[in-house]
Each structure stands twice: as C-alpha cells, then as structure tokens.
Amino acid sequence: MSHPDYAELPSPGKLLKIVALVCLVLFAAVEFYFFKVHYNPAGYAAAALLIFFGLWRIDTEKDPFQKVRIITILSLFVLLWCIIPLAFGLKVPILGGQWGTFPAIHTVGSVTFFIYMGIVFLFGKRVDCGWCCPCVTARETIGYPFRNRTPKNAFWWKLRYLKLLSLALLLIYLVFMIIDAGTAYDRAGKIYYDFVTYGYYSSFLLIPLTGNRNFCRILCPYAALWGVLSVAGFYRIRAHQEGCIGCRKCEEVCDMGIPIATLVKKNGQIRTIECMGCGRCVTVCPQQVLSFYSAAGILKNLFVSLFKPHSRTTIPP
C-alpha cells in the first residue's frame, strides 16, 4: 500500500511561503557572511531557522518513510554540524598535514571525504544527498514550501550536465591536493570553493522560482561525484517492469526531475547519477513496482546465511 506524499496535498499557504522566503534570505545571508566573509561560530545561529522548519516538516509529513528520513536528516545536522564541532572541537586530517573542522565530509582531500567515497560506492548517493547533507537539510526544511515550484521538463533535465563542470573543478583540485597539497588551494582550490560557495548561497534566493533542489540538480559537485560513485557501485532502485501502469506518480514526486517511468520501461531500474535516494517514488507507487537495492542487501543476505539455523538430520536410534 502506498503512502500519501506531501506533494499531492494542497500547496503551503501564502503566509507560510512569505515566512519561508524571508527565512531563506536570512539563512543564506547569515551563513554566507559568517562562514565565508568573516568566519565566526555566530554563523550557527542560522541553524535555528532550519531547525524550526524541520520541526514543522516532521509535524506535517504524511508519509511514514519520509517522516523518518526528515527526523534522521535533521538529527544528523544538529549532531554532526552543530553539537560536535561546537562542543568538542574535533578536527579531521587533510592531505598535506592540514586539519579541518569535523565532519569535513565535503572538504576535498580530508580523511572523511575519502571514507565517504567508499560508503557512497557501497550504499549510494542517498547516504549524503538524501539523509545527511546539511545543504539538503536546509532545502528539505526552509526550502520545502517551494517544492511545488520544481520545473520538470526536457530543458531542466538537460541542465543536469552543468554539474559536470563543478565535478571537473573538484577533480582538478583533488589531483593538485594529491600532487602538492601545499600549493593546491592557490592553484585550483580557491577557484573551486568560490565557484561552489557563491553558487550554493545564491541558489537559496532562487528556490521560490526553481524549487528547493535547484543547486542539487544543476551545480552541486558532490551530487555529481556521489552520483558517479553510486552508478559505478551497488546502489540502484529496482523495478518490476510488468507491474508499471504508467501513472507517472513517481515522476510527480521526484524533486530531481528524473523521467522515472521511462527508465523503468527501458532499463527495469533507476540507475542514474541524479537519484538522491529520497524514496518518494518508491512509497508513492500504487503498484509497489520500485524497491531499493545496494550493498546493504548483500550484507543482509550474507548475515542471514551465516546465522540462519541449519536443519539437522535426525538419526534414528
């Protein structure tokens, strides 16, 4: 049985959208100033806006799976990007003997960056883009009232290739980090981080016009890198082609604008770097055609085979 999705309910009221718009501007401005222009822990004050909208999302979400996802992503945001950095001041080693503020998942060349690459390869892009990324947390909370503004057409589907430019900049910087970490930032890092940072904060101001996942869809280098690793690895959404009735409800709830029904009919699975693993398409399908698959399934089957009681042959006396 499918669960109702928030996108199928009446769109948020005008007052909520006005409040969300003001909060988007405040969130982007505060974060940009304190974390880019004048680095200061005061920038964490913007997290209060995110948490407020996060609690609203949890309260109004109708899909049990999505409710768990929002609770998880909000909890991880508070723990990983607020409590641990502020309370414990943990640092993560980076290539060249440098150190970054925990968790440094998106810091090119950090230990956690490389560890995360392996995790994404095994379990898919969803471990960041669907369940953990602080940028996604903001977009799934403050930006959520504008989710119904997400354009879904051939033009926007083609725009996804712009992420390859961001990915190219990331990889160039990573190569310089490996070759000579001491000069990598001056040679490529500043260009990379300026490009990503200005694009990231500017995209919040465009959310009311282009939907909450605009940056994820067309500019985010991590969405591209994690997506490539997902496709190369074990993650995908499997589909029973014969069960698909072509209702396209899956496409209606996809914030990435993926032509899901077409992929199901053509390939029998959704295996694209665009899939963020939010699971909306899986739960909204009236025929239960779609299901997740990753290394988690392999590990689960291995665990069952190892610990499942074996039948014993009874030897008669």
Q: What are the structural domains, with CATH classification, of the chain?
A: 10-230 (no CATH), 235-299 (3.30.70)
Position 85 pLDDT exceeds 60: yes
Q: Is the pLDDT at 310 greater than 70, yes or no?
A: no
| Predicted confidence band of residue 2 (pLDDT cuts 50, 70, 90) | very low
Q: Which parts of 163-234 fold into alpha helices (H)?
A: 163-184, 190-210, 214-218, 221-232
| C-alpha–C-alpha distance, residues 179 and 162, integer Å | 27
Q: How confident is the model at residue 284 (pLDDT cuts 50, 70, 90)?
A: very high
Radius of gyration of the chain (CA): 21
Please work out, in degrees rounded to the nearest 5, the angle formed at the alpha carbon of residue 26 by the alpha carbons of 223 and 200: 20
CA 41 to chain centre: 24
d(CA 61, CA 80): 23
Pair 276, 126: CB distance under 8 Å: yes
Cβ contact 140:70 at 8 Å: yes
What is the number of residues in the chain? 317
pLDDT digits (tens, 9 = 90+) for 157-180: 999 999 999 999 999 999 999 999
Confirm if 28 and 201 have CB atoms less than 8 A apart. Answer: yes
pLDDT (average), residues 218-247: 96
What pLDDT does 41 receive?
78
Q: What are phi and psi of 222, to 5 degrees?
A: -75, -35
For 305, residues 6+ apart whose C-beta sits below 8 A from its C-beta are none
Only one residue has tokens 């940056």, namely 215
* Nearest-angstrom CA–CA distance, 259 and 275: 11
First-residue to last-residue Cα distance in the chain: 51
Question: Is the pLDDT confidence value at 27 over 70?
Answer: yes
Q: Kindly tell me the sign of the dihedral angle through the C-alpha atoms of 241, 246, 251, 257.
A: positive
For residue 130, the tally of other CB atoms under 10 A from its CB is: 20
Residue 4's pLDDT band (boundaries 50, 70, 90)?
very low
- The answer to whether residue 80 scores a pLDDT higher than 80 is yes
